[in-house]
Copies of this chain bind each other. A is one copy, B any other.
Amino acid sequence: MIIVHATFHVNPAKEAEFVSSLTPLIAASQAEEGNISYDLHKAVGREHVYTMVEVWRDQEATAIHNKSEHFTAFAATAAEYLTAPLDIQAFEGQALS
């Protein structure tokens, strides 16, 4: 499995637009055959910080995702919403029962 925590520091002036811009990305990513979960969260106690918490079946699934139309379209526009570089923490591992 691949676990990804992608953290976005968002321009307050564009926050609502940013969140709604993610709707098609979230829906399409959750529908991908190799996706296990793909959920957007807002940090508690830190303003304008969001984290996408993702779990994928394997590296092949993330490679397919990263080349997908919905991800590349989002990646092309993301920078205009952010006040800091996208912070991606990715891990390869297996579920603990």
Contacts and interface: CB of A to CB of B under 8 A. Distances in A.
Interface of A: 1-3, 5, 19, 26, 37, 39-45, 50-51, 53, 55, 89-96
Nearest to A52: B44
Assembly stoichiometry (copies): 2
Q: Identify the interface centre among A45, A95, A96: most chain B CB within 10 Å of its CB.
A: A96
Nearest to A2: B96
A51 to B, nearest CB: 6
B42 A44 contact: yes
Contacts of A45: 26, 40
Contact of A41 (B2, B44, B94): B44
A87 to B, nearest CB: 11
